[in-house]
């Protein structure tokens, strides 16, 4: 359960007194998630999510995330809407952490999406990219290729305790990725963490996208590569070409992929797997004492990397365009 910061009743009531969302009727820590502390709030005005931003979120980036959610919601995307307090700001402080309240979205995330869900996700991702096109703020992706070796160095000494040979194959992959990372692709606002737990469905329709706290300015196709990794493999590394093909086609039907993006897909997918393997590895080796969190398994992404090393072009990912 991701609750790193305990919030007392008194502190919560004092914080909520600044908002016009009525009296608090219920508050519960949320079991999912690994990054931030999240609480479900039920108040006289309805249901909300309270987030306390933890270690990986830089405070100076919060205005980007908050303004982005407001922008996307105004553009018609189903995403959380930040709630402003009486001073007109959506960012406050609670228990020494930056904190915000956003609207609660209905829907359920899918643990076993099928190919049609993947197609719908692809279309929703392309819709997000289009809705973000006229967003004026920028944020560099601080977890892109330049950040991977420094992350690896934090874990290198212990990597082989997690899996034999992990350090050597990661080092070799990093050499390839650093030498061949695609540049100059169509770019804009990307979500950068659109895993199944961040997408809600009602029936077979996407009903909401959440968790914009890795959003940044980067290649659109890299975002697609992140979701291909997250949605189209089993934990044991089995790849589902039908799901990947459907996701790419769903994306392409809304925002046409350029030939350079299609050509870059295998390297982008390999890099995306490396990014999540590394953050998971560092977290796996550094669980904060007392935190209620279940770290995620880095080896799931080590297994995906084995697939990406063998892929030669986008057809290996089900692209048929
Ligand atoms: N706006 C929302 N509406 C409904 N539920 C939400 C909302 N925001 C968050 N949640 C719930 O809280 C959980 C954790 O939220 P979130 O994914 O933002 O946390 P996180 O710690 O940043 O997680 P992650 O590990 O995915 O980065 C979600 O899986 C979802 O169940
Ligand atoms: N989605 C990430 C966790 C949040 O960064 C992962 O599964 O590793």
Q: What is the mean pLDDT of residues 107-123?
A: 97
Which ranges in the chain belong to alpha helices (H)?
Answer: 9-16, 62-74, 115-131, 145-162, 166-180, 220-231, 241-254, 259-284, 299-310
| pLDDT above 80 (res 290) | no
| CB 303, CB 237: distance < 8 Å | yes
Token digits of residue 25: 């009727």
Question: Please, which pLDDT band fits residue 292 given cuts at 50, 70 and 90?
Answer: low
Alpha carbons 313 and 264: distance in angstroms, whole number: 8
Q: Where in the chain is the domain with CATH 3.90.1200.10?
A: 115-317
Using an 8 Å Cβ cutoff, are 123 and 199 in contact? Answer: no
For the structural domain made of 115-317, what CATH number should be given?
3.90.1200.10
Closest CA to 199 of 123, 132, 301: 123
- Helix, coil or strand: residue 107: coil
Question: What are the φ and ψ backbone dihedral angles of 112, each rounded to 5 degrees?
Answer: -130, 75
For 162: left if phi > 0, alpha if psi spans -120 to 50, otherwise beta; the answer is alpha
Q: Ligand 1 mean position to 263 CA, how many Å?
A: 33
Whether ligand 2 lies within 6 angstroms of the CB of 261 is answered as no
130: left (phi over 0), alpha (psi -120 to 50) or beta: alpha
Is residue 194 scored above 60 in pLDDT?
yes
Question: Would you call 201 helix, strand, or coil by DSSP?
Answer: strand
- Tell me the CA–centroid distance for residue 192 and ligand 2, in Å: 10
Query: E strand or H helix at 194, and its extent?
Result: none
Mean pLDDT of 118-136: 98
Element holding 164 (H helix, E strand): none
pLDDT above 50: residue 263: yes
Mutate to test the pocket of ligand 2, among 275, 296, 299 (most ligand atoms within 8 A of CB): 296
Length of the chain: 321
Testing ligand 2's pocket by substitution, the residue of 193, 295, 300 carrying the most ligand atoms inside 8 A of its CB is 193
Taking the centre of ligand 2 as the mean of its atom positions, its distance from the CA of residue 176, in whole angstroms, is 23
pLDDT for the residue numbered 291: 66
Report residue 177's pLDDT band, with 50, 70 and 90 as the boundaries: very high
Question: d(Cα 271, Cα 55) in Å, to the nearest integer?
Answer: 23
Cα–Cα distance measured from residue 130 to residue 180, given in angstroms and rounded to the nearest whole number: 27
Q: How buried is 236 (Cβ within 10 angstroms: 0-12 exposed, 13-18 middle, 19+ buried)? A: exposed
For the chain, give every residue range classified as CATH 3.30.200.20.
Answer: 9-103
Nearest Cα residue to 200 out of 132, 64, 104: 104
Give CA–CA dist 5/3, Å, rounded. Answer: 6
Query: 9-103: what fold?
Result: Phosphorylase Kinase; domain 1 (3.30.200)
Q: Is the pLDDT of residue 1 over 50?
A: no
Confidence of residue 31 (pLDDT cuts 50, 70, 90): confident
Angle, helices 241-254/220-231, rounded to nearest 10 degrees: 150
Distance CA 49, CA 22 (A): 15
Ligand 2 centroid – CA 170 distance (Å): 19
CA distance 132 to 189: 6
> What tokens does 308 get?
């990406």
């Amino acid at each position: 359960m991701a609750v790193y910061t305990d919030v007392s009743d008194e502190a919560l009531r004092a914080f909520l007194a600044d908002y016009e969302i009525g009296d608090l009727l219920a508050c519960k820590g949320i079991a999912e998630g690994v990054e931030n502390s999240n609480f479900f709030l039920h108040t006289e005005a309805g249901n909300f999510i309270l987030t306390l931003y933890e270690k990986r979120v830089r405070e100076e980036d919060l205005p980007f995330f908050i303004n982005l959610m407001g922008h996307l919601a105004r553009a018609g995307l189903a995403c959380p809407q930040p709630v402003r307090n009486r001073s007109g700001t959506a960012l406050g402080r609670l228990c020494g952490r930056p904190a915000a309240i956003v609207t609660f979205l209905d829907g359920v995330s899918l643990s076993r999406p099928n190919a049609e869900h993947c197609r719908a996700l692809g279309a929703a991702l392309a819709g997000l990219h289009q809705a973000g096109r006229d967003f004026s703020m920028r944020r560099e992706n601080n977890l892109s290729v330049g950040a991977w070796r420094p992350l690896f160095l934090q874990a290198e000494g212990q990597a082989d305790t997690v899996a034999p040979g992990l350090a050597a194959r990661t080092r070799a992959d990093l050499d390839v990725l650093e030498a061949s990372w695609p540049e100059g692709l169509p770019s804009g606002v990307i979500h950068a963490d659109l895993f199944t737990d961040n997408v809600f469905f009602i029936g077979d329709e996407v009903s909401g996208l959440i968790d914009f706290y890795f959003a940044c300015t980067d290649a659109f196709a890299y975002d697609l590569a992140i979701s291909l990794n997250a949605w189209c493999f089993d934990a044991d590394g089995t790849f589902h070409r039908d799901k990947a093909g459907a996701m790419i086609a769903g994306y392409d039907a809304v925002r046409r992929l350029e030939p350079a993006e299609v050509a870059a897909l295998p390297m982008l997918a390999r890099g995306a797997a490396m990014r999540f393997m590394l953050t998971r590895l560092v977290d796996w080796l550094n669980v904060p004492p007392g935190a209620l969190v279940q770290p995620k398994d880095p080896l799931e992404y080590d297994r995906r990397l084995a697939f990406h090393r063998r892929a030669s072009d986008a057809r290996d990912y089900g692209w048929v365009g």
